[in-house]
Chains A and B, each alone.
Chain A
């Protein structure tokens, strides 16, 4: 992540140590995860020890210390969604993406998270795919939405392969 951008965020909060959580939230939202370099920069600029930053970033659920996938899927497992079958929806999400809650696939295509309530209880069960809320989802519908994303990713991968030179093909394959 660009150091200039991090500095900008820190400056916006007037470099106050009490704004640590707000600064980390902004970096997380901007970059989708918190790289070590970014945390080091925050530690240096705010004069807050790295140990305290580690404490904060592991205490609060919103922070991620590893890169997130291109598509983020949040499955609401709040009580209202739970009684309407959220667990079975989560099973489908795991099945289709091959990713367990809290994890990201090695290709960095999908991250799956559970959330405890999105406040859309009247629409339960609810999933959020790339920021878009889908309400009253059933197993079949969930699978369809995710399969479409998966197909698009595969198509993009094949397209990349088709237009690449030999050396690049090897490179792409190695990455995957």
Chain B
């Protein structure tokens, strides 16, 4: 492909690409993001290619492997355009019928449609599925339309229009001004106004400046950056270039965690394609603007999501943070002014430049503009990626889009902001989700992870879990973080083991304040949040652990016992066969009994007992009932 040398040539190419495409021609798209890949989209793709050939429809149908559609639990997902027919959990053996019935005869295959778990209603198109219907996918929307490896696909959805506008119709100051007016706030966690950050880097003295993409998405339970990077790498590149032009940088780095191999691979292809077309390199589109970009893989360190640690890692050093100020905007990579933003922030830039600050700032709340992608996971029916305007209520996200909690269980709390965030209880579910309201509620936006927890989740254990994670990930450079987290973890671990003492809650609060107030970087400063918010909203659970040695959620292993109800046991032997510890005694047509001394509390028996019997149950904080005597164990 020859280099594109001017905006006119780019438009000519775009027109030519669009003229080759017939909007009415059936197009089969298959989600090939990491989650669908895990559920077998590779095999589905092979079957599709084979069947298209076999049934002789190659000329009548377009086939595209796209990035993540977001409805990950229902993968692999196949969508057929122009109608938008959405088939879920598609297996290779369904493909022949999809081609012969849906493509050739426009017949819908009922069994592959979405069924609402609550109402039992089916939905044919994506737009009818409640999960999608209540979203506004300004950033994530392109994922399902394009092949992330195809620059042509990106051009077909108005790709690089924003870059042309910025380079040829706007001065760098105007670009910064537009981002400022849009009131875009960083999507990585803290929510700092991006335009202001850009201005700092732009005004910092120095000829050499850098721009950096932070794709070290370490927050466990959040994966929107991975999906954007995997599914639409050109949008991130375009945003990055606009930012580079605005602050005066000619070199960029993209830092991707190595746990995301598909993101690294798709990004490498996108960069190569952009270079071939002249959309990276020297004198881009004849504008005189030069820009090159390199990909740097992380090596497994949560702290590298913190910007100064990330920059140290980019320089080939251990990812330990530096005290700020100086901020990277004045002293960043190799000591030069550097602007670093998160993936989702960069992906919003083309949208703002294309549609204008007014369009963008009309969406959302007073303090938080635009949309935000959340990863709605945990104990919720529809799990996946959700993009909604800022200000939608938490209840709508979890119940309207997420379809509520599965298995008729009761909702308990939702954790936002990952290890730096907090829990929001049912009483606060009507808050509007934006940067400020979440912080007010004692949680935070973070990168957008939303982990829904039901009555079976123990909040003391969740606090312990986050501290265990952070104590593992603390770089150890400053004492308050290293020691504070460790001590809090110790207290919480003791509680979950039934060794809690009076005064522990107060001690935790004191340690939390000290760690918060004196740690060097955000990891330590925010580490106590999960502890404080769970104490604040679920103090009774802490007290039950300490005073009654009882776990109200029946979750903490050392505080519970598994029991077989002699009235309900039918002697089927399912639990007996599954028990890895040989702790169950029984026999044909005999009531089974768990020997508590041998039981490892793995829960295998509960999982194995047929739902129709439901004979295995858990207790906590009460004595184990006396086992039924040998001679009365016969059934019938």
Contact = CB atoms under 8 A, between A and B. Distances in A.
A49 interface: no
A52 to B, nearest CB: 8
Interface in A78-116: 78-80, 82-85, 88, 91-92, 95, 115-116
Contact of B72 (A63, A116, A123): A123
B604 interface: yes
A121 B219 CA distance: 11
A12 interface: no
Nearest to B457: A83
A14 to B, nearest CB: 12
Contacts of B449: 79-80
Contacts of B580: 92, 95, 143
Contact of B35 (A85, A122, A139): A122
B607 A84 contact: no
B34 A22 contact: no
Contacts of A62: 258, 299-300
A82 B378 CA distance: 9
B299 A61 contact: yes
By DSSP majority rule, is chain A's interface helix, strand, loop, or mixed? Answer: helix
Contact of A25 (B218, B258, B451): B258
Interface string B441-457: 00000000101010001
B73 A84 contact: no
B418 interface: yes
Interface in B29-62: 34-35, 37-39
Nearest to A18: B316
Interface in B445-493: 449, 451, 453, 457, 462, 465-466, 469, 473, 475
B608 interface: yes
A119 B607 contact: no
Interface in B232-249: none
A63 B300 CA distance: 8
A31 interface: no
* Interface core residue of A20, A120, A143 (most chain B CB under 10 Å): A120
Nearest to A116: B220
Contacts of B415: 79
B592 interface: no
Interface in A131-167: 133-135, 138-140, 143
B319 interface: yes
B254 to A, nearest CB: 13
A88 B300 contact: no
20 contacts: A19-B316, A20-B316, A56-B318, A59-B318, A60-B300, A60-B319, A62-B299, A77-B220, A79-B415, A80-B220, A80-B377, A116-B469, A117-B223, A117-B259, A121-B221, A122-B377, A124-B378, A135-B39, A138-B607, A140-B578
Interface of B: 34-35, 37-39, 72-73, 217-223, 226-227, 258-260, 296-302, 313-319, 375, 377-379, 383-384, 415, 418, 449, 451, 453, 457, 462, 465-466, 469, 473, 475, 578, 580, 600, 602-604, 607-608
